[in-house]
Amino acid sequence: MSNYRRARVPGATYFFTVNLRDRSSDLLVHEIALLRDCVRATRQRHPFHIDAWVVLPEHMHCLWTLPPGDADFARRWKVIKFAFVRRLPRTEPLTASQTKRGERGIWQRRYWEHLIRDEQDYQRHFDYIHFNPLKHGYVQRLADWPYSSFHRAVARACIRGIGAAMCYRRPGSSGSKRITLTSAVEKAAPFSTLRGTRIVSDSC
């Protein structure tokens, strides 16, 4: 772990997984308004484009594209995480080390980051993000999970016929055809046009 080095490419697109320390918590959805405020304020100070985002009770996944010449996603996550915890009461259990360092026990120290390599890689992670509420069994339809950029993606792509029925059900469920979000979006617009679209601001 000590030898881990993050990929840093200016202006690139990255996939992230960020977890709470307590994996049984529902803090992220319980404090969704606060989280949105922290992300919005961070983007004002340190701009980045949100390609996709889903917030689950104790973790979240997202795709970001950084500005040209900028590879400092670590600063942005530090600002978001710090802004979030500083507005929460100190009720979480702390280790002796955390207490000594004046740290909070809300977030896991590390997060997962992946540099998007190409359009196929982008599509795969875009789909993974939006299908996560189904994967974890929180809903049976993607449209029923409110903390996701799925709704904005559907609106931006103008999915007619499919969007109205919201037939993105759990793979294998009866009465629905297994279909990826990407392929559905592409019925209305080439996927490459989505990459430059501002999909979500505060809808996740």
The one catalytic residue among 14, 122, 147, 168? 147
Q: Which is higher by pLDDT, 108 or 158?
A: 108
User: Confidence band (pLDDT; 50, 70, 90) for 104?
Assistant: confident
128 is catalytic: no
For residue 72, the number of C-alpha atoms closer than 13 Å in the C-beta half-sphere is: 11
**Torsion angle of C-alpha atoms 30, 65, 6, 15, degrees rounded to 10:** 50
Tens digit of each residue's pLDDT (9 = 90 or more) over 171-187: 444 444 344 555 555 44
Segment 26-31 mean pLDDT: 95
CATH class entry, domain 13-194: alpha beta
Percent of the chain with pLDDT over 90: 47
User: Quick one: pLDDT at residue 127?
Assistant: 87
Which pLDDT value is given to residue 95?
A: 72
> pLDDT class for 28, splitting at 50, 70, 90?
very high
pTM of the model: 0.76
Which of 88, 54, 66, 53 shows the shortest CA–CA distance to 13? 66
Residues contacting residue 165 through CB under 8 Å, at least 6 positions apart: none
Q: How far apart are CA 164 and CA 88, in angstroms?
A: 39
Instruction: Give the burial class of 50: count Cβ atoms within 10 A of its Cβ; 0-12 exposed, 13-18 middle, 19 or more buried.
Output: buried
Give rounded-to-5 percent helix, strand, coil for the chain. 40, 15, 45
Q: Tell me the average pLDDT across 49-62.
A: 96
Element (H, E) at 131: helix 119-135
In tens, the pLDDT along 57-88 reads 999 999 999 999 999 999 999 999 999 999 98
pLDDT one-digit tens code per residue, 108-157: 988 999 999 988 899 889 989 988 998 999 998 888 899 999 888 877 76
Judge whether residue 14 has pLDDT over 90.
yes
Q: What is the mean pLDDT of residues 14-20?
A: 96
**Which two three-digit tokens encode residue 67?**
């500005």
Q: Please classify residue 70 by burial: count the beta carbons closer than 10 Å to its beta carbon, then call 0-12 exposed, 13-18 middle and 19+ buried.
A: middle
* Element containing residue 14 per DSSP (H, E): strand 13-19
Residue carrying structure tokens 């120290």: 109
Q: Which residues contact 155 (CB under 8 A, 6 or more apart)?
A: none
Q: Look up residue 59 and give its two tokens.
A: 């973790």
Mean pLDDT over all residues of the chain?
A: 77
Going by pLDDT thresholds of 50, 70 and 90, the confidence category of residue 160 is very low
What value, to the nearest 5°, has the Cα angle with vertex 71 and ends 112 and 21? Answer: 25
pLDDT at 117: 92
